[in-house]
Amino acid sequence: MNRRNLFALAVATLTISLWLGVAGAQQAAPATGAPAVAAEAAKAVDAANATAAAKPAEAGVSKLAAAIAKAPRGTEPGMIDETKPTGFLGIPGAPNVSIILAFAWAVWVGWIFSTVGAFGGVMAGVGHMSVFGFGNYAGGLKKTAPELGKIVTDSIKASNQFLVGTSAAISSFNYLKMKRLVLPLAISLGLGSLIGAYGAAALSAGKLDFKSYQGYFGLFVLFLGCWLFYQTTPGAKSKQKTAKAAAKAFEDAVKKQKCGEKVEECNLGLHINKFTMSTCDFTFYGVPFHFNPLVPFLGGIAISAVAAFLGVGGGFLLVPFLTSVTQLPMYLAAGTSALAVLVSMVTSIITLISKGTPIEWHLVGIELVGITVGSIIGPMTSKYLSDSLMKRIFILLSLYIGLGYTLAGFAGIKIPGV
């Protein structure tokens, strides 16, 4: 089977699983969060058309509807106030995010993606949790309606992952199309990612309260901030300088070789010489490489589990992991991680949805429009801003947000603005 067929097979498998997953999810969670009154009015217009196509429906009660029904009624915080209009996920009294706010925040996220980089993913999460008020709402349900609180938390997580993971998956797809794929590595990494993403999503779905999620997300952001800060220290800069000097020395040496030596065709590309459960030997441009397939398998489990648990993409961790552990060339690592990122994201979202986690598609859609607009504005404005200043601002921001979320999640201490 050639790579083209393999690629087509992978897409077909994912499509079918997505199809089946969503169908299963609709059995578990038919509610989508649209205002019930508007839905009734609209359906009345086409009742004849719709019912003619319809078969007798089973009146199933969704997990969300059951959790709403179970929650105590009243006007106190943490209770369902049925006199208030429906908000997030169609819950009466839940925060109702205005389209303008959702769009404006997403423009900011898109702007960060196109200027500063992956920190946009963190900001997408901050939007759902803090700016739109979903976090506070879910946190307030912890004692009165824990089941509903956990469903709202899962929905926040799935929305985060959708916004962050799609970019990694689509970017990785481009590298996959270049046909730079180490099949044994893709299989072990993909299998690990499948297990990790499914395990984390299945084990945490409906069990993670918002405070815990906020704490773990905060730890992740704090770690990211510390890592970015470390990159600016003299020690890290010196290491980077050494690497850059080695790279420059080689570049100069290549420039001096003006003979244009031809490379033997048989030495070009990738040749797998041996693949067993514990050894993979291959040559790339004639240079031998060796790795233990168990390492990417275990790495795939760990990275995908973390990504699925936190609702973040995994691509930004997978590529450095592959290049450092297997020492694979960047293009090969990026291409190989494509399947892993895609498998991880699709598995995690499908697992969450099939466990009855509802997603507000219209909110995700509005946010995607905002990210599109923000990423158009980004390159236009970035020339007026200093890269190093931006980096410092975002290091401070990630340290502050990370610390704030960790303290709020694990110690119940709130710091201003988070």
Partner 1 sequence: MTPFQIVDSLLIIPFRQPGSPEAGLLFGIFLLALLSAGLGIACSALVGRMHRTRQLREDGEAHKRSELSFQALQSGDKKAYLAQNHLAQEAYGNTMALSAGRAAGLLWPACASLAWLCWRFEGVPMPFLWSSAGPASYFLPMFIGALWGLSRLKRKIIAAPPA
Q: Which of residues 279-298 bind partner 1 (CB under 8 A)?
A: 284-287
The residue whose two tokens read 């969670």 is: 29
Site for partner 1 contains 357 (CB under 8 A): no
**CB closer to partner 1 out of 75 and 372:** 372
Cα-trace Rg, the chain: 24
Contact with partner 1 (CB under 8 A): which of 251, 386, 412, 413? 251
3-state class of 272 per DSSP?
Answer: strand
Contact with partner 1 (CB under 8 A): which of 223, 227, 230, 331? 331
- The 203-242 site mask, x for binding partner 1 (CB under 8 A), equals ----------------------------------------
What values do phi and psi take at 181, rounded to 5? -130, 125
Q: Are 19 and 354 in contact (CB under 8 A)?
A: no
Site for partner 1 contains 166 (CB under 8 A): yes
**CB closer to partner 1 out of 57 and 417:** 57
Q: How is 75-136 classified by DSSP, letter by letter?
A: SSTTSB-TTSPB-GGG-BTS----HHHHHHHHHHHHHHHHHT-THHHHHHHHIIIIISSHHH
**CB closer to partner 1 out of 210 and 284:** 284
Tokens found for residue 260: 């244009």
Q: Given the rule CB under 8 A, which of 13-21, 217-225, 291-299, 408-416 is the region that contacts partner 1?
A: 13-21
Q: Which of residues 43-62 bind partner 1 (CB under 8 A)?
A: 43, 46, 49-58, 60
**Closest separation in Å from C-beta 286 to partner 1:** 7
Instruction: Compute the distance between CA of residue 223 and CA of residue 226 in angstroms, rounded to an integer.
Output: 5
The CA-atom distances, in angstroms, between 130 and each of 91, 124, 214 are 18, 10, 10
3-state class of 280 per DSSP?
Answer: strand
Q: Which of residues 92-131 bind partner 1 (CB under 8 A)?
A: 110, 113-114, 116-118, 120
Site for partner 1 contains 265 (CB under 8 A): no
- The H or E element containing residue 3 is helix 3-28
Site for partner 1 contains 85 (CB under 8 A): no
**CB closer to partner 1 out of 1 and 45:** 45
Contact with partner 1 (CB under 8 A): which of 314, 315, 356, 404? 315
Q: Are 266 and 278 in contact (CB under 8 A)?
A: no
Contact with partner 1 (CB under 8 A): which of 69, 330, 411, 413? 330
Residues 6+ apart with CB under 8 A from 381: 111, 115
Site for partner 1 contains 334 (CB under 8 A): yes
Contact with partner 1 (CB under 8 A): which of 138, 169, 181, 186? 169
